Amino acid sequence: MGLFSKTCEYAMRAVFYIASHSADGSRPGIKEIAENINSPEHFLAKILQKLSKGGIISSIKGPNGGFYIEPNGLKRPLADIITCLEGDEIFTGCGMGLSYCSESNPCPLHNEFKKVRNQLTHMLYNTSIGEFNSELLTGALTLNK
C-alpha cells in the first residue's frame, strides 16, 4: 500500500484532470476522465460524487454535461480533496496509532513523525488544484498508468 489510499490517488488524478480541462471551458465526463487517469469508471464516479457534494468540483447532468471546477476552485489546496474524502486523520493522527499521543504527552516517534507530517501537510496545502494545468494541457505532465 502506498501513502495514500486508492480513493485519494484516483481523486487527486481526476481533480487535476478536471482542473486542466476547466481551464479551457470543457466539461469531461466520467468515462473520459476514467480513461485518462486509468481508474475504474464506476468507482471513480462515487469519488466524484463525494467531491461534488463537498464542493470541490461541480457537475452538470445531461448532454454536454460533465465535471468542471470553478475558477476560484482552482486555487484551493490539494489538501481539501483528502479532507473531503477521508477527514483529517492523516494530518493529525499519531504515527503509531496511539490516541494519547500529543505535543505535551508524545509517543516515542512523535517528534520525528511530526517532521514527516509537516512535510506532507506542506505539500498538500501549498499545492493548488490548478497548479499543473498548463503542463497537463501541453502533455508535459500526464496522469495515466
Which residues here bind a copy of itself, judged by CB under 8 A?
1-6, 9-10, 12-13, 16, 86, 89-90, 93-100, 106-109, 112-113, 115-117, 119-120, 122-123, 126-127, 131-132, 135-136, 141-145
Q: What's the rounded Cα separation, in Å, for the pair 84 and 53?
A: 9
The amino acid present at 105, given as its one-letter code, is N
Residue by residue, DSSP assigns 77-118 as BTHHHHHHHHTTHHHHS-TT--TT--SSS--TTHHHHHHHHH
Cβ closer to DNA: 31 or 75?
31
Cβ closer to a copy of itself: 60 or 144?
144
Cβ closer to DNA: 66 or 73?
66
Indicate whether 60 belongs to the interface with DNA (CB under 7 A): yes
